[in-house]
Amino acid sequence: MMQKEIKLPKIAEGVESATVTNILVSEGDAVEKAQSLIVVESDKASVEVPSEAAGKVSTIKVKENDEIKVGDVILVLESEEEEQSTEGAEEKEGEQPTEATIGKEVVKEKEEEPKKEKVSEEEKTEPKEGTERTAVKKEEKKGEVQPVAGGKVQPVAEKEKQPVIKPEEEEKAGEEDRVTKEQEIAAAPNVLRLARELGIQVNELKGSGPEGRILEEDVMAYAKEIIQGKGRRPVQEEPPLPDFSNWGEIEKVPLKGIRRATAKRTAVSWNTIPHVTHFDQAEISKIEELRANKNHLAEQQGGKLTVTAILLKIVAEALQEFPMLNASIDVNGQEIILKKYIHIGVAVDTERGLLVPVVRDVNKKNLINLSVELTELSEKARKGKLTVDEMKGGSFTISNVGGIGGTNFTQLIYHPQAAILGVAKAELKPIFIDGEFKPKLMLPLSLSYDHRLIDGADAARFLRWICDVIENPLNLLIDE
């Protein structure tokens, strides 16, 4: 039996590390080839890592919550497969080396040779040992003497060591450097302060004032260009945090996995997309009646007819009426990309953070099939079984927090999509109808949209269209 190291393979494009969330085997266990060994969670999905060979688990090299990189050893197997391949190699040992083999060995020997120091042209032309110039050169190399004019030499001190710069000193130096650079720029202090508050690098601006002086109008015009997608968005650096331990006990928890991915995505979304949110509400008594009457059809197939499932179908119909909300903007290419498919992501709250599985071709499926598929995807998300592909390709997103509570909320667009629908908790409200107040169950809705692509009037029409269908659901939602 030979030992075989099982390493973390590349689990998704662009993923170089992952967090171990579960270890599925123990030392001494016999495993089959392709049997799952551990579960890892990257910033894209949760994945089971299979064994490359059959054998017995000798040593487990990782533990839960470890952050491991692609190529790191997960565990060591005692495997017969490795032994067989090794035996085959031993049989070849007696064979005569071929020309190709000899070539490889020569290359290997050359690689193992220590690299020779390059000889400068000056050294090549140096006089031989024993001359006065050679003696000077030798002393110069030792750092004891240095040639000066007239052929004489004088002693010099050894090369001073580079000082060690502490992080706080480096940070202070960087801040002083930034202030110095700002002082060199022709702009008043109030203009510099405005640029800093907006996250704009003043050295990127062209001043319109006398002698190129930067004015407040220049800063505001540049900020407007960024919002309209014409200018380059500045990269804002996080200011350093204070030492919170000065005021009490603290605990530091690594930012990793889904939480780290969420932090990156939301920052990109907020810094890239000019968000606007429109609010509306819909009376849902007929939706609740539909759920009560048709839920058994979904349950027969293992699903559940929820408000989110119904909204999936309604939103798909709305996106066909308003295609700009199913688009993306390519600022660099100066194009609008209109998607002919309708794949809707649904935000799912899990113990590890927010995951967004995608229901594909929503417009081509009936309500019962959507209910079943959404139930399956939600369960996979909560159990950490979603694949990377099941979270890719969304063209619109729905986020329903009604089961938790709240009257309304604004939500971040899932970049590079154009919009996201937020759903809060339905509430019984007095609605004035035909001269009197009547109690109605109202569902708060919010639509966050990319103002570069979508005007406020179009966003209002889109959300009102959805509200109208909620208040008068069509039978074709079930039958088609």
Per DSSP, 444 falls in state E
Distance CA 49, CA 16 (A): 14
Q: Which phi and psi (to 5°) does residue 34 adopt?
A: 80, 0
C-alpha 275 chain-centroid distance: 20
Q: Which residues are catalytic?
A: 451
Q: Which phi and psi (to 5°) does residue 202 adopt?
A: -65, -25
> Which letter, b or e, does each residue of 291-327 get, where b requires 16 or more Cβ atoms within 10 Å of its Cβ?
beebbebbeeeebebbbbbbbbbbbbbbbeebebbbb
For residue 2, give the H/E element and its range.
strand 2-7
Residue 311 near residue 396 (C-beta atoms within 8 A) = no
> Which letter, b or e, does each residue of 161-187 get, where b requires 16 or more Cβ atoms within 10 Å of its Cβ?
eeeeeeeeeeeeeeeeeeeeebeebeb
Residue 444 near residue 407 (C-beta atoms within 8 A) = yes
Distance CA 80, CA 229 (A): 60
∠ CA(388), CA(390), CA(391), 5° rounding?
70
For residue 60, give the H/E element and its range.
strand 55-60
Dig out the tokens for 302 from the structure.
């293992």
Distance CA 374, CA 367 (A): 10
Amino acid letter, residue 369: N
Distance CA 59, CA 79 (A): 12
